Amino acid sequence: MIDLMDFLKKVSIFSNLTDEQYRMVAKICKIKKYNKKDTIFNDGDKALGFYIVFDGKVKIYKVSYEGREQILHIFGNYQIFGEVPVFSNRVFPATATTLVDSEIVFIPKDEFIRLIRQHPKIALQIIGVLSMRLHTFTNVIENLSLKEIPSRLASYLLFLKEKSGDKTKLELNVNKSQLSSILGTIPETLSRIFTKMSQNKILELNGKYITINDLEKLEAIAEGFEKL
C-alpha cells in the first residue's frame, strides 16, 4: 500500500509543502499499475493529467518516419513526466512506455489546476522543474545535432557521474540498446566506442558497471577537444 504523503515529499515539485497541502494533493492522486512494455500514453494523445513514477522505469521516445526510435528521456522512482502538455493545453508530444513492471501515480489535470489556483506555491515549484527539463532537452538536442558519437557517450557518462554524486564508479540505468537509441546511434557502434575507451584505459566496463579511470580525457572527448 502506497503512503502517498510520504511519497509526495520525495517528489521534486512537491518539496517543502505543508502537511495540509500534501493531504490535498494526495486526495487527487490515482495509482496505476503497468506491466513491462505497456504504453502509458501515445504521441498525440490528449493530455488529461501527468504522471510520477512510484516504482519502476519509463522511457519517453519518438519514432521517426523511417521507424527509428529516439529515446528522449528515461524516468525512475519519484520522477515526474508528461507534465508539460498539461500546462500548455497541448497533446503529448511523445510516447511513454514502461521498461519494467511499474506502479505510476497519475494526477488529473483539472483537479490539479484547481488545487494550484488555491496554492500558488505549488505552481512555483513546477516552474523550477520545467526549467530544469528545458535545460536537459537542450543538451539532448546539442548532443544529437552537434557532437560526434564518442562525445555524446562521454557527455552521457559525465551526466551519470554528476547524478551519482560525482562517483567514478557508475551503474548504467539502461541497457546498451536503449543507450544507443538515446545517443542516436546503433548498438554495434556503441560497443565499438566502449571497447576503444577501455583499450585507451579511459574506463573499465563490467556488465552494467563502468569505472572512470581517466576523467580528464573523458571530459576532453565530451567537449570535442580530443578525438577517440
- Asked if the structure places residue 228 within a domain, the reply is no
pLDDT of residue 43: 94
Whole-prediction pTM: 0.70
Which of 85-94, 103-112, 116-125 is modeled with the greatest confidence? 103-112
- Residues forming beta bridges with residue 206, ordered by sequence position: 209
Please tell me the total count of domains within the chain: 2
Per-residue pLDDT band for 191 (boundaries 50, 70, 90) equals very high
Separation of alpha carbons 139 and 137, rounded Å: 5
More confident residue, 223 or 28: 28
How does pLDDT run across 35-47, given as a tens digit for each residue? 999 999 999 999 9
Which of 27-31, 122-126, 132-136 is modeled with the greatest confidence? 27-31
Residue-wise DSSP of 94-162: SEEEESSSEEEEEEEHHHHHHHHHH-HHHHHHHHHHHHHHHHHHHHHHHHHHHS-HHHHHHHHHHHHHH
Residue 8: CATH number of its domain: 2.60.120.10
| C-alpha dist (Å) from residue 114 to 38, 70, 89 | 30, 35, 15
Mean predicted lDDT score pLDDT of the chain: 86
- 107 and 77, same structural domain? yes
Range of the domain at 80: 4-144
Burial of 181 (0-12, 13-18, 19+ CB in 10 A): buried
Separation of alpha carbons 197 and 154, rounded Å: 10
Phi first, then psi, for residue 176 (nearest 5°) are -65, -30
pLDDT of residue 99: 94
Q: Is the pLDDT of residue 139 over 70?
A: no
Phi first, then psi, for residue 225 (nearest 5°) are -80, -20
For 75: left if phi > 0, alpha if psi spans -120 to 50, otherwise beta; the answer is beta
pLDDT (average), residues 197-221? 92
Other beta carbons within 10 angstroms of residue 207's beta carbon come to: 7
- 165 and 65, same structural domain? no
Other beta carbons within 10 angstroms of residue 130's beta carbon come to: 16
pLDDT of residue 145: 58
Of 144, 169, 188, the one marking the end of a domain is 144
Of 144, 176, 208, the one marking the end of a domain is 144
Pairing mode, strands 80-81 and 49-55: antiparallel
36-50, 91-105, 177-191: range with lowest mean pLDDT: 177-191
